[in-house]
Amino acid sequence: MNKLLTSTVFLAVMLNSVTAVAVYGQCGGIGYSGSTVCDSGSTCTYSNAYYSQCLPGTATVGTTTTTSAGNTPTTTSTSSGTSATSLNSGLTKHGKKFWGSAADQGTINISQNQALLKSQFGGYTPEWDVANEIFNEDGSLRSSVWSNVFGGSSFVNVAFTAARAADPNAKLYINDYNLDSNNAKVQGMVNLVKSINSGTKLIDGIGTQMHLSAGGAGGVQAALTALASAGTDVAITELDIASASASDYTTVVKACLNTAACVSITSWGVADVNSWRASSNPLLWDNNYQPKAAYNAVISALA
């Protein structure tokens, strides 16, 4: 993997239309006369004057949790596809399996879920967020269907073991937000990863989302250094920064470059108009898809 792979991730745009284009299908370009509306969970994304493509957003997040008649619960993704596309390096995909904030009842048949996702997305997704947003701010585990049923953190070990069996060649990540300084949540993450990897190494990387406020990049270097102490890769997985100052973006990029374990930065969207934080203008392109000063600063930092 390159030292730094800058990629873009599109939030799902929920559209319903009988003429919707399937994920990865063409949705625009010179000479194209078909629908410009994409299936739910994907966004029509400009590639060049002749081709726009439906690319997925948070499509593999397990947001539906059900319990079968035999009390064997399952969780399934809500749409097809995965979650990242690279700017210049072809297609890179990073999917999510268990989202801590996306299920709050029932129990989970983890092995069945892993096998289902492998059958749907295996070969397309070299990286998985096996566990996502499972920590409280004080570094303890959030109460969830999985922690309640399995007891404590044991579900994390079970999930990563099942994921490794289902997709042995994929990089397996644990991902969370507010890992932006060397805080209690960061320490809780590091301690859990070290504990799980103390035997067989199951977790390949830690993802820090980094949805930052304006001027909030000052603690990033300390956060990345602390996360790297877990002995895994570290990835910035969902970067956006309110007001998108060139200084803040440069600070984040340089922090990653200065951290040997930091393997990638992913922007949580392309243009402000499609951002989940659109009112704060947090991305590298403006509402008209024109690059901002922050974009040029990132390019300079990477040069």
- Quote the tokens at residue 281: 């203008």
Residue 239 has a pLDDT of 96
Residue 229 has a pLDDT of 99
Under a CB-based contact definition with an 8 Å cutoff, are residues 105 and 73 in contact?
no
User: Is residue 294's pLDDT more than 70?
Assistant: yes
**Count of CA atoms in the C-beta half-sphere (13 A) of 248:** 20
Confidence of residue 96 (pLDDT cuts 50, 70, 90): low
Give the span between the Cα atoms of 208 and 188, in whole angstroms: 13
Confidence of residue 166 (pLDDT cuts 50, 70, 90): confident
Note the pLDDT tens digit of each residue in 4-51. 333 333 222 222 334 788 877 888 888 888 888 888 767 787 767 777
Section 76-88 average pLDDT = 33
DSSP track, 145-212: HHHHHHTTTHHHHHHHHHHHHH-TTSEEEEEES--SSS-HHHHHHHHHHHHHTTSS----EEEE--EE
Residue 47 has a pLDDT of 67
> Residue 148: how many CB atoms within 10 A of its CB?
13
Confidence of residue 89 (pLDDT cuts 50, 70, 90): very low
- Quote the tokens at residue 285: 């392109």
Residue 57 has a pLDDT of 59
Residue 21 has a pLDDT of 86
The residues, any chain, with a CB within 8 Å of residue 204's CB and separated by 6 or more, are 171, 172, 173, 232, 233
User: Is residue 103's pLDDT more than 90?
Assistant: no
Residue 91 has a pLDDT of 35
Residue 202 has a pLDDT of 96
> Residue 297: how many CB atoms within 10 A of its CB?
20
Residue 71 has a pLDDT of 38
Nearest Cα to Cα of residue 77 among 54, 56, 92, 55: 56
Residue 95 has a pLDDT of 53
Residue 13 has a pLDDT of 26
What is the model's pTM?
0.70
User: Is residue 160's pLDDT more than 80?
Assistant: yes
- Residues designated catalytic: 238
Query: Regarding beta strands 85-86 and 5-8, do their DSSP bridges make them parallel or antiparallel, or are they unpaired?
Result: antiparallel
Nearest Cα to Cα of residue 132 among 176, 170, 172: 176
Task: Give the distance, in angstroms, between the CA of residue 52 and the centroid of all CA atoms in the same chain.
Answer: 23
* Cα-only R_g, the chain: 19
More confident residue, 32 or 284: 284
Which domains, ranges and CATH numbers included, belong to the chain? Answer: 5-10+56-302 (3.20.20.80)
Helix ranges, the chain (H): 110-121, 145-150, 154-166, 184-196, 220-228, 246-257, 293-302
Compute the mean pLDDT over every residue in the chain, rounded to the nearest whole number: 77
CA of 218: how far to CAs of 1, 4, 247, in Å? 27, 20, 10
Q: Which amino acid is at 120?
A: Q
Residue 165 has a pLDDT of 87
Residue 63 has a pLDDT of 42
Confidence of residue 94 (pLDDT cuts 50, 70, 90): low
